[in-house]
Amino acid sequence: MSRKRGFALAETQLASFDRSTTARCHVQRPDRYRLLEALPADARRITRGGGVSFVGASFAHDSVVQEMGAFDRLLEFDPEQGRLTVEAGARIGDVTRFALSRGWMLPVVPGHPRASIGGCIAADVHGKNPARDGTFRQHVEGIELFDAQAGWVQLGPNQDADHFAACFAGFGIPGLMVRARLRLVPAAQAYSLRSIAVANLVEAAEVLRSHANAPLLYGWHDGRAGRFGRGAIRFGLEAKDGTTGKHRTYPDLPETIAPWPITAWNRIGIAAMNRWVRHRQFVAGQVPTAAALFPLNEARRYFAGFGKHGMNEAQWLLPHASYAEFVAALEAEVRRLRPRISLIASKLFEGKPTGFSFDGSGIALAIQMPQPRQREQAAFIESLTELAIIHGGRPNLIKDSSLQAATLPRCFADFDNARNALRRFDPAHVQESAMTRRLGL
Amino acid sequence: MTTVVVGASSGLGRALAEELARASHELLLVASDPRDLSAIAADLGLRHAAKVHTLALDLAATADPGARVLAALAELPAPSALLLPVGQSRVDDDGSLGAAATGQLLAINLHAPITIVQALLPALLEARGVVVGFGSVAAVRGRSRNMVYAAAKRGLQGFFESLRHRHSGQGLRVQFHRLGFLRSNLTHGMRLPLPAAEPAQVASQVVANLEKASFDRHAPRWWALVAFIIAHLPWFVFRRMDA
Ligand SMILES: Cc1cc2nc3c(=O)[nH]c(=O)nc-3n(C[C@H](O)[C@H](O)[C@H](O)COP(=O)(O)OP(=O)(O)OC[C@H]3O[C@@H](n4cnc5c(N)ncnc54)[C@H](O)[C@@H]3O)c2cc1C
Ligand SMILES: NC(=O)c1ccc[n+]([C@@H]2O[C@H](COP(=O)([O-])OP(=O)(O)OC[C@H]3O[C@@H](n4cnc5c(N)ncnc54)[C@H](OP(=O)(O)O)[C@@H]3O)[C@@H](O)[C@H]2O)c1
């Protein structure tokens, strides 16, 4: 395919984090700049960052997968202004550790520390309190991108602004991002974490709204009929003195987690796990910033427990106005269909919805379920999708493998415009993943 | 003192640069593309507060690479260590390469390392320093693939033997690592009959050995057994070997 020194492709089996999508792919691992330019302009390709999306967003069986792991270098740091330029393959966990060591941090980091900066931009990820800090786009000042046709381009809010904007929740379509300039904020040395018990998801929303300014703010809830929505809102405030008690540090959650041979999240397993989560939620105290930002490092066994049939995470952002009605209807569906929901997470959003980004004003619920292809589970997911659409919900495309092309125009009133705003920068559909195909992007 | 790494932009060379920066060496990194070198230099500077200098040079298109490296060192502290993890192999190296491609392979794998060693030798002797070369398991016994590459690597091994013979007892340490498979773009996508080592793992062993006396050994060490078996296979068996 290319004669450039060092160009190589390997045939590799890739899988999405939720195990819903697998494909044998041709994977390139560019480790020098000329190798980013090595593919013929018309060769179908897709960029892969950390590869830790729940869905198959960074591979397809007939696209060359350009894996950015080697482009993980820190390029420039301004310790006065808190500006950091990095290569797009740098992992958010590594970037966070570096920034914290200099007294700075990124206010928006997703739950998986191995997500790359490119992946965080391409999915416009949210962090621990999107109502306060917005999404990733609020913290990026510039992007350097390699476009298959146009070559190297510099993008920013005042430089090719449409192309810059398209990169956020662009899912790799607007081109291969190679470098980004990030805006950091002064770091908290530690967070003081507290939990407030809630009896249901409506109460959860009230607690979320009343703590909108907390740097860390999210809820964990039981999804079982009879206990639906019971849980806790966890909030974290910057600790005054920065001291932390004895705190076990966990290694970063790996990209791929070997599944247990059986699905642990049957009804008994879910009951036991909910008890454990409840117990953990109410542990209060001061926690080092890095640990508070990546609590899922402790969740390796939780993800392994989904077994080889995997999981589904359906995340919907419901407007405040229809939220309570949605929750009531959902609870009724849970009572009727009795799905196995391993956990529900809640977050508050107060942003502006743009394109396909997961943003807006309302409450987001992420509902995790084992064995999504099992008949009863699939029926519930279908019904959840319908309910969410009826109530004006906005789906998170980077998380939910159950979404289909036909569903999207019903969720995004300006679907065609949003898709055209991305494909404008790739009219030949050179950038394609299993996800962009499934969703007709 | 400066440590020079030739072929520092990827694979083992990049891992060596990282390991050396962590050990506080001041570095001169050499490879062909300034974009790769400046990214690595910036990263090592930020993460390890290392002093890193770079020289972008296409070794296949430079008549006297040694002179260029020496010139780049003129403004820097004297060199005390030279590491040469530079190399290139090609899938079409099966005896059918033309003169130009053959010349390039010989330049990268043999001519450039030799001329750079020769240019830096006086300074390295003065510093009682170390020169580190990298061979390949491909050079154990010639096969129908990697023909020019294997010949060049065997030539390099011979040069390092001579270097050690010539300078033993003069304080210069001459270290030669005969490498087995490494997980880098040189082997990406190849079906390998034996496991490939991580460059970072080999790099940490190479750097840990820098202060040791001269040697010529396999890395990872278990490749010695593989090399022994390959070297002693009866011809009628070896003839049929594919990989
Ligand atoms: C356990 C877990 C927790 C999570 N928590 C959160 C959370 O709290 N908030 C949240 O918003 N998300 C969360 N996510 C989702 C995750 O952050 C996103 O899917 C993110 O995109 C993953 O980054 P990645 O580098 O692994 O991207 P990949 O999975 O490799 O790719 C994702 C998309 O980004 C594109 N892409 C990647 N790099 C580049 C590049 N350099 N140039 C152009 N396009 C590129 C790909 O083409 C693809 O479309 C979570 C996921 C998991 C598995
Ligand atoms: N990989 C293996 O399995 C294996 C096995 C046995 C031995 N080896 C040997 O081990 C050493 C390291 O291998 P590796 O896998 O790390 O290789 P690699 O990733 O391909 O790195 C080779 C290095 O050599 C540089 N180089 C090649 N041609 C050049 C040129 N014309 N001008 C300037 N620099 C040039 C490259 O830089 P640029 O491309 O940026 O110019 C790169 O930095 C090599 O000597 C190799 O022969 C490797």
Q: Which residues of A132-171 are buried (b: 16+ CB within 10 A; e: fewer)?
A: bbbbbbebbebbbbbbbeeeebebeeeebeebbbbbbbbb
Inter-chain CB proximity B42 and A73 less than 8 Å: yes
Q: What CATH number does the domain located at A190-403 have?
A: 3.30.70.2520
**Cα–Cα distance between A253 and A50 in angstroms, integer?**
12
CATH match of A74-187 with 3.30.465.10:
yes
Amino acid B243: pLDDT: 52
Determine the average pLDDT of the residues in A91-107: 98
Give the separation between CA A224 and CA A271, rounded to whole angstroms: 8
CA of B88 to the centre of ligand 2 (A): 5
**Token pair belonging to A325:** 């009605």
| DSSP state letters, A72-88 | --EEEEETTTTEEEEET
- Closest ligand to Cα B107: 2
Residue A220: which H helix or E strand, with range? strand A216-221
Q: What single-letter DSSP state applies at residue A391?
A: T
Give the CA radius of gyration of chain A. Answer: 21
A153 Cα: distance to centroid of ligand 1 (angstroms) = 22
C-alpha of residue B180 to centroid of ligand 2, in Å: 14
Question: What's the domain range around B55?
Answer: 2-238
- Model confidence at A2, pLDDT cuts 50, 70, 90, reads low
CATH of the domain at B206: 3.40.50.720
Q: Which amino acid is at A73?
A: R
In a domain, B44, yes or no: yes
Mean predicted confidence (pLDDT) in A17-33: 98
pLDDT of residue A1: 64
**Count of domains for chain B:** 1
243 residues of chain B, pLDDT tens digit each: 999 999 999 999 999 999 999 999 999 999 999 999 999 999 999 999 999 999 999 999 999 999 999 999 999 999 999 999 999 999 899 999 999 999 999 999 999 999 999 999 999 999 999 999 999 999 999 999 999 999 999 999 999 999 999 998 888 999 999 999 999 999 999 999 899 999 999 999 999 999 999 999 999 999 999 999 999 999 999 988 865
* Inside any domain, residue B243: no
C-beta atoms of A70 and B10 within 8 A:
yes
- The answer to whether residue A74 neighbours chain B at the CB level (below 8 Å) is yes
User: Is the ipTM, as predicted for this complex, more than 0.90?
Assistant: yes
Q: What is the pLDDT of residues B127-170, one digit of tens each?
A: 999 999 999 999 999 999 999 999 999 999 999 999 999 998 88
Full-model pTM: 0.97
pLDDT in tens, A180-236: 999 999 999 899 999 999 999 999 999 999 999 999 999 999 999 999 999 999 999
Looking at per-residue confidence, does A4 or B35 come out higher? Answer: B35
- Pick among A2, A31, A72, A77 to test the B interface (most B CBs inside 10 A): A31
Search chain B and give the residue with CA nearest A76. Answer: B42
